[in-house]
Amino acid sequence: MRKPKTKLNLLRQRIHIIIYGSDTRAGRLFDLILLGLILLSVFCVMLETVKGFDVKYHHELIVLEWIITLFFTLEYLLRIITTNKPRRYIFSFFGIIDLIAILPMYLSFFLMGSKVFSVIRALRLLRLFKILNHPKFTGQSQHLLRALDASRRKITIFLYFILISTILIGSLMYVVEGEENGFTSIPTSIYWTIVTLTTVGYGDISPATPLGQFIASMVMILGYGIIAVPTGIVTAEFAKTSANKTEPEKNKCGNCGSENHYTNAHFCYHCGYPFTTN
Amino acid sequence: MRKPKTKLNLLRQRIHIIIYGSDTRAGRLFDLILLGLILLSVFCVMLETVKGFDVKYHHELIVLEWIITLFFTLEYLLRIITTNKPRRYIFSFFGIIDLIAILPMYLSFFLMGSKVFSVIRALRLLRLFKILNHPKFTGQSQHLLRALDASRRKITIFLYFILISTILIGSLMYVVEGEENGFTSIPTSIYWTIVTLTTVGYGDISPATPLGQFIASMVMILGYGIIAVPTGIVTAEFAKTSANKTEPEKNKCGNCGSENHYTNAHFCYHCGYPFTTN
Amino acid sequence: MRKPKTKLNLLRQRIHIIIYGSDTRAGRLFDLILLGLILLSVFCVMLETVKGFDVKYHHELIVLEWIITLFFTLEYLLRIITTNKPRRYIFSFFGIIDLIAILPMYLSFFLMGSKVFSVIRALRLLRLFKILNHPKFTGQSQHLLRALDASRRKITIFLYFILISTILIGSLMYVVEGEENGFTSIPTSIYWTIVTLTTVGYGDISPATPLGQFIASMVMILGYGIIAVPTGIVTAEFAKTSANKTEPEKNKCGNCGSENHYTNAHFCYHCGYPFTTN
Amino acid sequence: MRKPKTKLNLLRQRIHIIIYGSDTRAGRLFDLILLGLILLSVFCVMLETVKGFDVKYHHELIVLEWIITLFFTLEYLLRIITTNKPRRYIFSFFGIIDLIAILPMYLSFFLMGSKVFSVIRALRLLRLFKILNHPKFTGQSQHLLRALDASRRKITIFLYFILISTILIGSLMYVVEGEENGFTSIPTSIYWTIVTLTTVGYGDISPATPLGQFIASMVMILGYGIIAVPTGIVTAEFAKTSANKTEPEKNKCGNCGSENHYTNAHFCYHCGYPFTTN
């Protein structure tokens, strides 16, 4: 099956270019249709869960979803057929996502009404992250990722500190407030601590004793203050990578070795040596 | 009507200068009166909706609003009459706002008690953004806008990431918590996710199952952490534009006029001209 | 009365040094006692409002407060007597605060049980801001104030933008949600908008209609994003003033004029000229 | 007992290396087992407080905890026996923590069912902070700590300002809102102020009067704005320490060893030694 007759092979190649590539006009059109269908499909999943809407338009939604599912099934099969390494696609991250997203509709014949299966189709959304590889965004998103990657270790230490503090404060509040004030167990207390430390503050659980309110106040001020830490880490990295970007290494004088020349400099600012290529 | 008798034309010109300009004393006074009336008018709209106040002073409010409306109508007509390009004003952003803001009072003869029409008058407030063009603020606000504009793309990628995450987390929480805990539909679940991720935390919907509370905790820590991203982006831009601004003007080559020389430069990087005093 | 007998005058001078100055040992001791009494007095005001505590120790609290009040009255009189410009003190900010803080106890003879009068004594706390003038903190707090002062205008523009947006969004939500969902008037709606935009999120008022929840989500993301703006402004200023501080102007070579020498440099990094005073 | 027979002494030394060190294979294995047991032990404490779980698996939990406690008791005794300075360990911070964490199980014979005693075992978690001394993290965490330490004074002034503001606003709100709206005492009002200022916003107490809502709005905007201050302080410090760190090591004088020379320096700023290659 790998090398069929030439005519069929040519068609396979053409479809491959349309589906996998985005350089040709047809390829870009295909990408746009796919994007539209993903959004439409996720929109369907959302509307299905809205009671009033689902009762009114149940039939229409089902029909629409079958059309979408058939299209995605076709796309899945074409992706397998037209690629030279079908296994690599099938077991790739997006290959598995694609399969998982079309299965629920077919399984709905056997397993009726399962909410979980229905919602799984929303995973298709993950495909939209592929857009960040688009040349228009690739520089910006790499800059973002590089800054986050550079601050990875510091953030890990910070999260480690937060985690231990959270368990200790949660245990303390469980003892201070007790089950009668909503702190029914240590895990619940830890949940409350995270809600407070991150300044979310639902209010579903809130301290009632004076001591508990005092500790809660300390936790809030702690949370309010230490948000400065991840922000400071990431900002410093952004500022650094942004500074590095504007000062390329080649800006070094070939004559006297002085550095940090402007990219549009014609002469070395130190020895007056003329630049040729810069 | 474009070119009436000279005397009328002169009056037209004078009014034009008062209404459109802010260089003359009368023009500045007119601007101040306008500002005061806009604030008074918005204040009226607000007070009208306060039950206790409206019952007591209903008559006075109506009279006051008619006075304001008549003034704004007069101003609208004068703006059209005195300008040479009435169409340009009428179909401009602020021209449409001005019209929309005076219509509700006249329409109230025919359509009584419509709340929407009444509140529309608050749109007059948009005119206050014009003040940011004032020379006193223009440098500062342009600096602000430039920094925000420079970080536009990165913020877009960030919002795109947030949007997809929000839908996925919302779908997950809908399955985990279900309708019995307030997560009645995926859109509602997404609303809850945004409330949690942005650390607002109303508490109108809050997770009740242990697994739900665990996922919620993760979302909170995620939201608490990623606030560092927009902050880092904007801060890095502010620091950059602010650094560019503080580079002193004296670092200018006396020969070719190129700028931003290093303070310890011996030669102009652009023309090779030797510096003496620097 | 300005120039009494020499002996009395000497005593007056001595007390003046103790009360107003903080260079002598007695002056520092007096400052410490004053600090302690202010904290004790505010602590009393707080405890008085706690029902359970006030019932038990009402008598003790009253006695303690009379002692404190008599001390502060004595201090107030001594401050007037010992200074050469009594009017300047009496009508200064802290002079008025001092008077306001001792009056309530004396007025309590005539006006019993007024809560407002009782709480006014907490204003004494304002005096504690004087500590920031202490040489130990003065450099740091001036650095803080300078950075905040430098970003004053940008923050004003930002607040102006927030204010207008808040009124417009509040008016919109009043129309969308209406009085049946808690948005009883435009001022209340504006209050809700501020609660949401600042990510406080009490949950005492929260949107119930799908459209309202959608607008609320937008407001939250807006609020989550624009916190980057004041943070960015202030951080950029901090970084700038902090950078300026580490590069004093005197670090300039007297021989060749090159700048930015380290404060502990012994020789010019550019011409090798030896520094003497640095 | 200090100097037993050689054979026993050798064993003591070996155990000492395993328990205190982490350079040998056995030492690292011991550290890993310890880490696992600490987590398991804290997990047990947490599960015990979850009603449904405790009822089902009460017996298993008790057995597991006795095993863990016996292990930690053995470790505690071995640490005392094998060290040359047992007193120093016993009265060190971690020595006391270790003792406190094993006592509750033994005390449970005499004092049944005390919740406080049970939860105290979670203090074992504090030991996990020791990991931050690991060479893999030590550079990063020292960088974090140095930046936080450098901004210590400014943060203190900030917290001082927050504390005074909080008491004053709390007192004001107590007068404005009063006991009928949940502001039952000044301490409670201060608690509300902290909840609001830090943008936590539980909603357990929220202003009901128009004036109270207005003041609350101001407090929120204040809190939303001043989060910029700690963030700005810490970020500026991070950027500074991070900038110092990136200055390359090669900028070191070959003559006197002083560091941080400018890349374009011709002479060492410390000894005046001329640079050739730089």
Whether D144 and A154 lie within 8 Å, measured CB to CB = yes
Cross-chain CB nearest to C203 (options A199, A203, A235): A203
Work out the pLDDT band at C238, boundaries 50, 70, 90.
Answer: confident
pLDDT tens-place string over residues C88-147: 989 988 888 888 888 888 887 776 656 777 788 888 888 888 766 666 677 777 778 888
- Residue D105 pLDDT grade (very low, low, confident, very high; cuts 50, 70, 90): confident
Contacts of A230 in chain D (CB under 8 A): none
SS3 state of residue C51: helix
Confidence band of C248 (pLDDT split at 50, 70, 90): very low
Q: C263 pLDDT exceeds 60? A: no
Q: What is the pLDDT of residue C130?
A: 73
Whether pLDDT at C236 is above 70 = yes
Residues of chain D with C-beta less than 8 angstroms from the C-beta of A223 = 198, 200
Q: How confident is the model at residue B196 (pLDDT cuts 50, 70, 90)?
A: very high
* Least confidently predicted of B40-49, B105-114, B243-252, D166-175: B243-252
| C-beta of residue B127 within 8 angstroms of C-beta of residue B97 | yes
pLDDT for the residue numbered D249: 41
pLDDT at A246 over 50: no
Could you tell me if C49 and C122 are in contact, meaning their C-beta atoms sit under 8 angstroms apart?
no
Confidence (pLDDT) at B122: 86
Size of interface A-D (CB pairs under 8 A): 145
Tokens describing residue D57: 């698996």
Q: How far is C9 from chain D (nearest CA, A)?
A: 38
The residue among B269 and D205 whose pLDDT is bigger is D205
Strand-pairing partners, residue C274, are: C267
Contacts A201 to C, Cβ<8 Å = 200-201
Q: What is the per-residue pLDDT across B50-84, written as a single tens digit (0 to 9) for each?
A: 888 888 888 888 899 899 999 999 999 999 988 88
> In degrees, to the nearest 5, what angle opens at C-alpha B243 toward C-alphas B158 and A241?
45
Q: What is the mean pLDDT of residues A254-270?
A: 61
Region of poorest pLDDT, from A84-93, A122-131, B195-204, B238-247 = B238-247
- Asked if residue D173 has pLDDT above 60, the reply is yes
Q: Which residues in chain C touch residue A202, judged by CB atoms under 8 angstroms apart? A: 203
* Mean pLDDT of the residues in chain B: 82
B203, D203: Cβ pair inside 8 Å? yes
More confident residue, D262 or B248: D262
Q: Which of A55, A169, A198 to mutate to test the interface with B (most CBs of B within 10 A)?
A: A198
- The closest CB to that of B201, out of C187, C201, C235, belongs to C201
Check pLDDT > 70 for residue C250: no
Helix (H) or strand (E) holding B71: helix B51-82
Please report the pLDDT score of residue A54 as a whole number.
Answer: 81
Cβ contact, residue pair C49, D239, below 8 Å: no
Say if CB D223 and CB D198 are below 8 A apart.
yes
Q: From residue B85, how far is each of A211, B19, B88, B148 by CA, in Å?
A: 70, 15, 5, 34
Is B119:B202 a contact under the CB 8 Å cutoff?
no
Q: Per-residue confidence at D247, pLDDT binned at 50, 70, 90?
A: very low
User: What residues of chain C have any CB closer than 8 angstroms to a CB in chain A?
Assistant: 199-203, 231, 235
Residues of C in contact with D217 (CB under 8 A): 190-191, 194-195
Rounded to a whole number, what is the distance in Å from the CA of B169 to chain C's nearest CA? 15
Residue A192 has pLDDT above 90, yes or no: yes
D202 and B202 within 8 Å at the Cβ level: the answer is no
Angle (CA) C85 C87 C88, round 5°:
70
Amino acid C252: pLDDT: 56
Closest approach of B241 to chain C, Cα-based (Å):
10
Residue A274 is given by DSSP the state B
DSSP H stretches of helix in C83-209:
86-90, 93-107, 115-120, 135-150, 152-177, 186-197
* Contact criterion met (CB < 8 Å) for A268 and B271: no
CATH code for the domain defined by A7-131:
1.20.120.350
CB-based contact B134:B60 (threshold 8 Å): no
Nearest CA in chain A to D278: A257
Q: Which chains touch B (3 or more CB pairs under 8 A)?
A: A, C, D
pLDDT of residue A198: 93
For residue A174, the model assigns a pLDDT of 92
The structural domains of chain B, with segments of one domain joined by +, span: 7-131, 142-244, 249-277
Distance of CA C223 to the CA centre of its chain: 25
Q: Which of D154, D190, D272 sits opposite C140 (nearest CB)?
A: D154
Q: How far is B12 from chain D (nearest CA, A)?
A: 45
pLDDT band at D52 (very low <50, low <70, confident <90, very high): confident
Q: Do D199 and B199 touch (CB under 8 A)?
A: yes
pLDDT of residue D118: 76
Q: Is C184 helix (H, G, I), strand (E, B) or coil?
A: coil
Closest CA–CA distance from residue A228 to any residue of chain C (Å): 10
What pLDDT shows up at residue D188?
A: 93
Q: Count how many residues are written for chain D.
A: 278
Q: Closest Cα of chain D to A267: distance in Å? A: 16
CA distance B223 to B158: 12
Record: contact D267-C267, CB cut-off 8 A = yes
Look at C234 and D228 and tell me if their CB atoms are within 8 Å: yes
Q: Which uninterrupted H or E stretch holds B255?
A: none
- Asked whether the beta carbons of residue B266 and residue A274 sit closer than 8 angstroms, the reply is no
pLDDT tens-place string over residues A24-82: 888 888 888 988 999 999 998 888 888 888 888 888 888 998 899 999 999 999 989 88
Q: Is the pLDDT of residue A13 over 80?
A: yes
Across the range D146-153, mean pLDDT stands at 83
**Is this complex's ipTM strictly greater than 0.85?**
no
CB atoms A137 and B158 under 8 Å: no
Q: Is C252 exposed, middle or buried (0-12, 13-18, 19+ CB in 10 A)?
A: middle
Average pLDDT value for chain D: 82
> Looking at residue C278, what is its pLDDT?
35
Q: Give contacts of C229 with chain B, Cβ < 8 Å.
A: 144, 148, 234
Mean pLDDT of all residues in chain C? 82
For C17-31, what is each residue's pLDDT tens digit? 888 877 788 888 888
> Rg of chain C over CA atoms, in angstroms?
28
Residues of chain D contacting A187 with CB distance shorter than 8 Å? 46, 49-50
User: CA of A162 to nearest chain D CA: how many angstroms apart?
Assistant: 11
> Rounded to a whole number, what is the distance in Å from the CA of A80 to chain B's nearest CA?
27
Assigned architecture for domain C142-244:
Orthogonal Bundle (1.10)
State yes or no: pLDDT of B48 exceeds 80: yes
Nearest to C266 by CA among A271, B82, D253, D205: D253
What average pLDDT does range A212-223 have in this prediction? 93
No. of H helices and E strands in chain B? 11, 0
C-alpha distance from residue D227 to each of B193, D6, D157 (Å): 23, 63, 14
At B166 the pLDDT is 94
For B242-258, letters b (16+ CB in 10 Å) and e give: beeeeeeeeeebeeeeb
Residue of D47, D213, D229, D235 to mutate, testing the B interface (most B Cβ within 10 Å of its Cβ): D235
- Which residues of chain A have a CB within 8 Å of the CB of B265? 269-270
pLDDT of residue A278: 35
pLDDT at res. A265: 62
Residue C267 three-state SS: strand
- The per-residue pLDDT for C71 is 92
